[in-house]
């Protein structure tokens, strides 16, 4: 197997440096072997045997074509509008963090962190999510309260499934509230944010599943799980959205080491899913009354009741489902946890989050505690669904365009200078405008280009029109022309665009 040219050059340099003194000595077997190796590398470099570079992206990552980017920009714009509507400000953090910042914050998921080579004596890693960097950010800048949003790429050394929107490099859109407030009000705000985003996407019916880590811990306590194993059992239950109960049960018994009877008792609770707690169905009351005998679960149940009262006021209870199987295995969650799925789409969770009150304290020298709650929108999975939806739409619809050009300026018989003046005038007016980069373009080709781009308006100029002081504005979709005075061009185009 041949190596690349760059690797061969590096090998040659290393061999010549390593054996510099040796090669100056009298010949013996070691010298001969060294010279033969160096000669072999030189011959390979001058031959055509070096490995050709294959043009491909790394596994679990992808390029995005203009049409895909148009979808992404639409989704990002929609999400940011919701974040800002709720008063969030934007922040940014480095793509790398010190490795010690990230390790041990994600439980069993820590094995998926991408390490980075030693950088000037610092061991770094690519960020796994945006939550831990945010907690470090709050601690670093000694922030007492903030409502922020952050849209950026994160990295996971995971087994990708691109068709299901599972990547190694992907965007997250996070909304978090940090600070000391009355209980559950920030949590309700986060859930309303999720509700608004999912409604705006118009991708089908969705459910927001909710649970509480205290209720889960009370469940484990009731079933006899040792406290030291709460987190690892929680991590197993978190796999129920991807694995069957039989597989999860087997892992808890054979890998985590709990007795079969204990696993079966846990199963009796968590296999009742999709409960609407607010309607107080008999089964839910019986289950929660049983768990309420433990102080840990009782506290969580009271908080869930309060949260659902707030969500009722926010008008989102029609999408809420209390679900004891929801675990969210990340180690930093301390209270309410939630996850959103589209009921008729096989892409898994599209949003998830919860309360993490202790994470900032882990990065503060004095253990300063700043309670936090937040949600992360899984936009890659949303992109997968949105692209599938938009590609089915009629090609004439503006929503499926790759660009946002509003006006195309075309001309006959050159008129290049006047064409450029009109383009500059429209740009100055804030109108998205394009033209063909040719001095003598064919008019038919300009029309075709304009239709291919699905630009709504086309400005047409020619010697005869210019002599009369007039210009033609064409409605591209209706193929209807209208002559206007040159001096009125910009105002007439703005008026037409406002009607689109």
- The pLDDT tens digits of the residues spanning 297-312 come to 888 888 998 999 999 9
**232-238, long-range: CB within 8 Å, 24+ apart, which pairs?**
232/107, 232/108, 232/256, 233/258, 233/266, 234/107, 234/327, 234/329, 235/107, 235/108, 235/109, 235/327, 235/329, 236/329, 237/266, 237/270, 237/325, 237/327, 237/329, 238/327, 238/328, 238/329
**Are 494 and 429 within 8 A, CB to CB?**
yes
In-domain check, residue 376: yes
Q: 332 a known binding residue? A: yes
In-domain check, residue 396: no
pLDDT digits (tens, 9 = 90+) for 448-483: 988 888 899 999 998 888 889 999 999 998 889 999
Give the pLDDT score at 373: 97
Instruction: Mark whether 380 and 411 lie in a shared domain.
Output: no
Instruction: Mark whether 383 and 451 lie in a shared domain.
Output: no
pLDDT digits (tens, 9 = 90+) for 21-36: 655 655 566 666 767 7
Q: What is the CA radius of gyration of the chain?
A: 31
Which among 367, 391, 415 is the end of a domain? 391
Instruction: Mark whether 475 and 385 lie in a shared domain.
Output: no
205-219, 265-279, 401-415: least confidently modelled range: 265-279
Q: 67 a known binding residue? A: no
Contacts of 354 (CB under 8 A, 6+ apart): 213, 328, 333, 335, 336, 337, 338, 373, 374
In-domain check, residue 422: yes
**Are 174 and 190 within 8 A, CB to CB?**
no
How far is Cα 410 from Cα 426, in angstroms, rounded to an integer?
13
Tell me the CA distances in angstroms from 4 to 10, 16, 17, 442, 476, one per residue in order.
10, 18, 20, 47, 52
Give the pLDDT score at 39: 75
Q: 176 a known binding residue? A: yes
Instruction: Mark whether 103 and 170 lie in a shared domain.
Output: yes
In-domain check, residue 187: yes
Domains in the chain, number: 3
How far is Cα 194 from Cα 404, in angstroms, rounded to an integer?
28
**Are 169 and 57 within 8 A, CB to CB?**
no
Q: At what angle do helices 489-499 and 416-428 cross, to 10 degrees?
A: 60
Instruction: Mark whether 80 and 14 lie in a shared domain.
Output: no
Mean pLDDT score, 121-145: 94
**Are 411 and 419 within 8 A, CB to CB?**
yes
Instruction: Mark whether 166 and 264 lie in a shared domain.
Output: yes
Please give the share of the chain, as a percent, with pLDDT higher than 90. 42
Tell me the CA distances in angstroms from 322 to 293, 301, 337, one per residue in order.
19, 11, 10
pLDDT digits (tens, 9 = 90+) for 320-330: 988 888 888 66
Tell me the CA distances in angstroms from 393 to 69, 73, 240, 396, one per residue in order.
17, 18, 35, 8
Q: 172 a known binding residue? A: yes
- Here the CATH number for the domain that contains residue 186 is 3.30.930.10
Instruction: Mark whether 94 and 242 lie in a shared domain.
Output: yes
Range of the domain at 30: 5-46
**454-458, long-range: CB within 8 Å, 24+ apart, which pairs?**
454/395, 454/396, 454/398, 454/400, 454/401, 455/405, 455/406, 455/407, 455/408, 456/398, 456/406, 456/407, 456/497, 456/500, 457/406, 457/407, 457/408, 457/493, 457/496, 457/497, 458/407, 458/408, 458/409, 458/410
- The token duo for 456 is 């709504």
pLDDT digits (tens, 9 = 90+) for 82-130: 999 999 999 999 999 999 899 877 776 778 898 887 777 888 999 999 9
Q: Kindly state the helix (H) or strand (E) to which residue 497 belongs, with its residue range.
A: helix 489-499
Which among 331, 363, 391 is the end of a domain? 391
- The token duo for 341 is 């799925």
Q: Where are the alpha helices (DSSP H) in 19-143?
A: 20-23, 29-46, 66-85, 99-102, 131-140
Instruction: Mark whether 129 and 70 lie in a shared domain.
Output: yes
Residue 7, pLDDT above cutoff 50? yes
In-domain check, residue 29: yes
Q: 213 a known binding residue? A: no
pLDDT digits (tens, 9 = 90+) for 201-253: 988 899 999 999 998 888 888 888 888 888 888 888 888 877 888 899 999 99
Q: 130 a known binding residue? A: yes
Q: 408 a known binding residue? A: no
How far is Cα 474 from Cα 185, in angstroms, rounded to an integer?
53
Q: 328 a known binding residue? A: yes
Instruction: Mark whether 252 and 135 lie in a shared domain.
Output: yes
Q: 144 a known binding residue? A: no
Residue 76, pLDDT above cutoff 90? yes
In-domain check, residue 55: no
Give the pLDDT score at 457: 95
């Amino acid at each position: 197997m041949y190596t690349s040219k760059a690797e061969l050059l590096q090998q040659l340099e290393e061999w010549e440096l390593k054996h510099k003194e040796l090669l100056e000595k009298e010949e013996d077997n070691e010298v001969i072997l060294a010279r033969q190796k160096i000669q072999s590398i030189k011959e390979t470099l001058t031959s055509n045997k070096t490995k050709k570079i294959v043009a491909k992206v790394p596994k679990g990552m992808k390029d995005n074509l203009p049409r895909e980017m148009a979808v992404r920009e639409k989704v990002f714009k929609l999400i940011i509008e919701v974040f800002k509507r709720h008063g969030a400000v934007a922040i940014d953090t480095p793509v790398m963090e010190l490795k010690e910042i990230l390790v041990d914050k994600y439980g069993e998921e820590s094995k998926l962190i991408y390490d980075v080579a030693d950088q000037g004596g610092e061991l770094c890693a690519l960020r796994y999510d945006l939550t831990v960097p945010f907690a470090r950010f709050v601690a670093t800048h000694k922030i007492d309260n903030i409502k922020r949003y952050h849209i950026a790429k994160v990295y996971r050394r995971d087994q990708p499934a691109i068709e299901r929107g599972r990547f190694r490099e992907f965007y997250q859109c996070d909304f978090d509230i940090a600070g000391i407030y009355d209980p559950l009000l920030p949590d309700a705000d986060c859930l309303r944010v999720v509700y608004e985003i999912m409604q705006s996407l118009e991708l089908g019916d969705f459910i927001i599943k909710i649970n509480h880590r205290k209720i889960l811990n009370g469940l484990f306590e009731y079933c006899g799980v040792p406290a030291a194993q709460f987190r690892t059992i929680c991590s197993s239950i978190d796999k129920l959205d991807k694995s069957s109960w039989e597989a999860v049960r087997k892992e808890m018994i054979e890998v985590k080491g709990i007795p079969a009877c204990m696993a079966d008792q846990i199963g009796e609770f968590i296999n009742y899913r999709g409960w609407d707690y607010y309607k107080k169905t008999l089964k839910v009351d019986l289950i929660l009354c049983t768990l309420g005998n433990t102080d840990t679960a009782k506290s969580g149940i009271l908080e869930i009741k309060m949260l659902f009262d707030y969500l009722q006021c926010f008008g989102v209870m029609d999408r809420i489902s209390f679900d004891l199987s929801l675990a969210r295995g990340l180690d930093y969650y301390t209270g309410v946890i939630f996850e959103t799925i589209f009921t008729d789409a096989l892409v898994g969770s599209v949003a998830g989050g919860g309360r993490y009150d202790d994470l900032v304290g882990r990065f503060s020298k004095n253990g300063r505690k700043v309670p936090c709650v937040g949600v992360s929108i899984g936009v890659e999975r949303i992109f997968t669904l949105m692209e599938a939806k938009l590609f089915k739409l009629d090609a004439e619809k503006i929503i499926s365009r790759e660009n946002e050009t509003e006006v195309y300026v075309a001309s006959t018989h050159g008129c290049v200078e006047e064409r450029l003046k009109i383009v500059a005038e429209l740009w100055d007016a804030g109108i998205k405008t394009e033209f063909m980069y040719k001095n003598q373009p064919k008019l038919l080709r300009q029309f075709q280009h304009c239709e291919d781009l699905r630009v709504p308006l086309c400005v047409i100029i020619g010697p005869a029109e210019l002599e009369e002081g007039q210009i033609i504005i064409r409605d591209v979709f209706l193929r209807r022309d209208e002559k206007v005075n040159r001096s009125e061009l910009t105002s007439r185009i703005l008026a037409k665009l406002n009607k689109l």
